[in-house]
Amino acid sequence: MILNEEQILERMVDPDPSRRIIITPLINPEEQFGPTSVDLRLGTDFQVIKRPNITHLDFINDPKEISRNLARYTTPVKVGATEPFVLHPGEFALASTLEYIRVPLDLAARLEGRSTWGRLGLLIHATAGFVDPGFSGALTFELSNIGQVPMPLYPGVRISQICFFESKKTKLPYAEKKYSKYSGKTTTACSAYFKDPEYCRIRKALDS
């Protein structure tokens, strides 16, 4: 069952910390609450995907080499509160929510774009819209401009919304998963795909 606005608010002030939804800072509840969701705002730091001087990303290279290549593949950008980040047509960039989010163990969540921005051609995630029970930190945006003109995006603008779904209390919170990689982060984080166990096994097999 999806939670409505009253249920979300009740969870945000629940006296039991283990049941509490955290969305902070909640700057303007009147603007941010919808019937079954809460609007989230764009933060100030970005990772811009650029055309690098590398031929490809080899998923089974040494992790240190992959980290160096990822650093060449992305450019960190931080903008001021009233400074736009311009996303050009066809560009892809990572960003994060202004808000810190914590999801209780008996809820899961979905991060979705807002219709207002979708009608202009802004996609806020490629595949990663699901938020596990027990997640805490800033949520990552995978921004794409599929429109025809550059799009200035200002920090603090509501470009997304989060909704919550009831579930049975998990025994495996996201932060306690053996290979979770993004829990607790409060800034935009690049992909850490090379830490996945599949690639560890492949590298080990190749080394042997």
* pLDDT classification of 126: cutoffs 50, 70, 90: confident
The pLDDT of residue 188:
79
Please name the amino acid found at residue 208: S
**Counted domains in the chain:** 1
The predicted model gives 70-85 an average pLDDT of: 86
| Structure tokens, 29 | 């509840």
CB under 8 Å to 189, separation ≥6 — which residues? Answer: 47, 94, 96, 140, 182
If DSSP codes are grouped into helix, strand and coil, which group holds residue 130?
A: strand
164 versus 81: which is more confidently predicted?
164
CB under 8 Å to 53, separation ≥6 — which residues? Answer: 72
Instruction: Residue 112: give its domain's CATH number.
Output: 2.70.40.10
Query: Is 106 in contact with 19 (CB distance < 8 Å)?
Result: yes
Angle at 96 between CA 26 and CA 8, to 5 degrees: 35
What is the set of active-site residues?
142
Structural domain of residue 202, as residue ranges?
Answer: 5-207
Q: Is the pLDDT of residue 34 over 90?
A: yes
Instruction: Identify any residues that bridge with 18 across adjacent strands, giving them in sequence order.
Output: none
* pLDDT classification of 204: cutoffs 50, 70, 90: confident
Residue 52: asked if its preceding bond is cis (omega within 30°), the reply is no
Q: Is the pLDDT of residue 102 over 80?
A: yes
The pLDDT of residue 58:
66
CB under 8 Å to 114, separation ≥6 — which residues? Answer: 39, 158, 159, 160, 161
